[in-house]
């Protein structure tokens, strides 16, 4: 039976009527199989139907271990660029549209950015809309995802909304100092165009993509799980061809960094996460960190896919000698009859926060998931401490 995917009013996908929070293995780790992705906790993977950039096209795997399919359609979405693309795109959609595991399609990645000329675009919105309209005519039951670069204005990226149902971008803030200017690195040595150059910048980029989607489209954020140096290629920076990769610049995000970025994305509006694992290998420690985090997110799936609830909690911070900027960001979710509070400290300093407003619920304490402790609620208020960039997930319990 073919699958049907719809978008709920709160921008959560429903797969055959069931809420679905995407945990996508965007790249296949070196030496990995789909079985490795499924065992780690991923629930979907990127099928490169036509290849693209440095990826080759891949056939449909016979065994998918329960993983849903996100099919990358690459440049075939621009029907103006080649007379053969209409027939090629039609053939792929006809082959995929009734597949029982199909979750979504993906259009051309980062169309508003060119590494050799950032002020130009590699694909126009009008050109990608030609493929979008063809896909929707053949298959109206599966959404199309558009991944953007982290740069460009909201208005410039909104132009592409005519060619996508899901939006998102790829802020990768974990980088070594003084890195070479290979692909994606600005002339000033930065990877992000945000005034916030810490990992907390991902929260702002997620909020930006909610704006891009006009608070109507789901937001799938790419999460950095790889080292920037693995993007090095003499194809993009021939001046470094003789040097090769710099082992001293090989810096992977830690588990704690990835965990913060994941929850900061979710709290600020992401309804799916795509783990960027380009050139990650199974024998690297980062793979075990990825497994640990994705396994936790898989166990929280029904919470992440639950309805967001408006519980007006008011924070007050104890003075620990640090400024409070964005503070501890929170999101309240409801799964069944149970309320949950997701909280992430957005600063590289610790924080102690007291939330008031729990008297609107019947909860008497907050059970901290995965930490074997609970926080009491007295007179409608609860206090907890956060290490730098720490995340706590609470169940409101009577």
The domain tally of the chain equals 2
3-state secondary structure of 36: helix
Which pLDDT score, from 0 to 100, does residue 54 have? 54
Q: Domain check: are 206 and 153 in the same one?
A: yes
Q: Domain check: are 387 and 247 in the same one?
A: no
Indicate which CATH number applies to the domain containing 254. 3.20.20.80
* Distance of alpha carbon 348 from alpha carbon 61, whole angstroms: 43
The tens digit of pLDDT for each residue in 374-394 reads 999 999 999 999 999 999 999
Q: Domain check: are 12 and 119 in the same one?
A: yes
The tens digit of pLDDT for each residue in 318-341 reads 999 999 999 999 999 999 999 999
Q: Domain check: are 264 and 326 in the same one?
A: no
Of the listed ranges 160-169, 174-183, 361-370, the least confidently predicted one is: 174-183
Share of the chain above pLDDT 90, in %: 81
Residue predicted with more confidence, 264 or 187: 264
- Residue 251 CA: distances (Å) to CA of 196, 227, 231, 237, 366: 20, 5, 12, 20, 36
Q: Domain check: are 122 and 42 in the same one?
A: yes
* Mean pLDDT score, 12-29: 96
Which pLDDT score, from 0 to 100, does residue 295 have? 98
Between the two ends of the chain, the Cα-to-Cα distance in Å is 43
* Mean pLDDT score, 110-124: 77
Q: Domain check: are 95 and 242 in the same one?
A: yes
The tens digit of pLDDT for each residue in 214-228 reads 999 999 999 999 999
Indicate which CATH number applies to the domain containing 366. 2.60.40.1180
Q: Domain check: are 267 and 153 in the same one?
A: yes
* Distance of alpha carbon 67 from alpha carbon 275, whole angstroms: 14
Q: Domain check: are 184 and 110 in the same one?
A: yes
3-state secondary structure of 331: strand
Helices (H), strands (E): how many in the chain? 8, 20
* Mean pLDDT score, 69-97: 94
Of the listed ranges 50-59, 109-118, 170-179, 306-315, the least confidently predicted one is: 50-59
Long-range contacts of 108-111 (CB under 8 A, 24+ apart): 108/73, 108/74, 108/75, 108/77, 108/78, 109/52, 109/53, 109/72, 109/74, 109/147, 110/147, 110/148, 110/149, 110/170, 111/146, 111/148, 111/160
Res. 398: pLDDT tops 70 = yes
Q: Domain boundary at 242, 270, 304, which?
A: 304
Q: Domain boundary at 255, 282, 304, which?
A: 304
Q: Domain check: are 340 and 211 in the same one?
A: no
* Mean pLDDT score, 105-121: 80
Q: Domain check: are 196 and 216 in the same one?
A: yes
Mean pLDDT over the full length of the chain: 93
3-state secondary structure of 304: helix
Residue 119 confidence class, pLDDT cut points 50, 70, 90: low
Q: Domain boundary at 269, 286, 304, which?
A: 304
Residue 164 confidence class, pLDDT cut points 50, 70, 90: very high
Share of the chain above pLDDT 70, in %: 97
In terms of C-beta density within 10 A (0-12 exposed, 13-18 middle, 19 or more buried), how is residue 15 classed?
Answer: buried
Residue predicted with more confidence, 241 or 308: 308
Q: Domain check: are 158 and 202 in the same one?
A: yes
Task: Indicate the DSSP class of residue 239.
Answer: G
Range of the domain at 358: 307-397
Structure tokens at 129: 């809309």
Q: Domain check: are 373 and 255 in the same one?
A: no
Res. 182: pLDDT tops 90 = no
């Amino acid at each position: 039976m073919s699958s049907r995917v719809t978008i709920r009013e709160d921008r959560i996908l429903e797969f055959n009527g069931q809420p679905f929070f995407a945990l996508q293995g965007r790249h296949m780790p070196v030496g990995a199989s789909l079985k490795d992705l499924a065992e780690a906790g991923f629930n979907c993977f990127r099928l490169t139907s036509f290849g693209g950039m440095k990826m080759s096209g891949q056939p449909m795997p016979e065994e998918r271990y329960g993983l849903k399919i996100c099919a990358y359609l690459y440049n075939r979405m621009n029907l103006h660029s080649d007379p053969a693309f209409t027939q090629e795109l039609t053939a792929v959609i006809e082959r995929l549209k009734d597949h029982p595991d199909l979750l979504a399609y993906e259009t051309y990645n980062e169309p508003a950015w060119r590494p050799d000329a950032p002020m130009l675009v590699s694909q126009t919105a009008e050109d990608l809309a030609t493929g979008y309209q063809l896909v929707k005519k053949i298959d109206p039951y599966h959404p199309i995802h558009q991944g953007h670069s982290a740069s460009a204005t909201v208005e410039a990226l909104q132009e592409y909304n005519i060619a996508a149902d899901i939006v998102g971008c790829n802020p990768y803030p974990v980088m070594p100092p003084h890195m070479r200017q290979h692909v994606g690195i600005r002339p000033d040595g930065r990877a992000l165009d945000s005034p916030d150059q810490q990992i907390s910048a991902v929260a702002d980029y997620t909020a930006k993509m909610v704006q891009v989607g006009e608070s109507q489209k789901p937001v799938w954020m790419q999460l950095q799980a790889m080292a920037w140096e693995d993007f090095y290629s003499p194809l993009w920076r021939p001046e470094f061809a003789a040097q090769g990769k710099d082992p001293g610049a090989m810096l992977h995000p830690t588990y704690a960094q990835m965990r913060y970025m994941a929850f900061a994305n979710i709290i600020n509006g992401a309804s799916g996460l795509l783990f960027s694992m380009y050139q990650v290998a199974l024998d690297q420690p980062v793979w075990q960190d990825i497994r640990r985090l994705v396994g936790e997110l898989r166990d929280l799936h029904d919470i992440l896919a639950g309805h967001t609830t408006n519980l007006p909690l008011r924070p007050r911070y104890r003075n620990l000698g640090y400024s409070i900027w964005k503070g501890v960001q929170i999101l309240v979710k409801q799964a069944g009859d149970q309320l949950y509070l997701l909280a992430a400290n957005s600063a590289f300093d610790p924080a102690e926060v007291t939330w008031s407003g729990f008297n609107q619920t019947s909860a008497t304490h907050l059970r901290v998931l995965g930490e074997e402790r609970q926080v009491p609620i007295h007179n409608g208020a609860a206090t907890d401490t956060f290490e730098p960039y720490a995340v706590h997930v609470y169940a409101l319990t009577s």
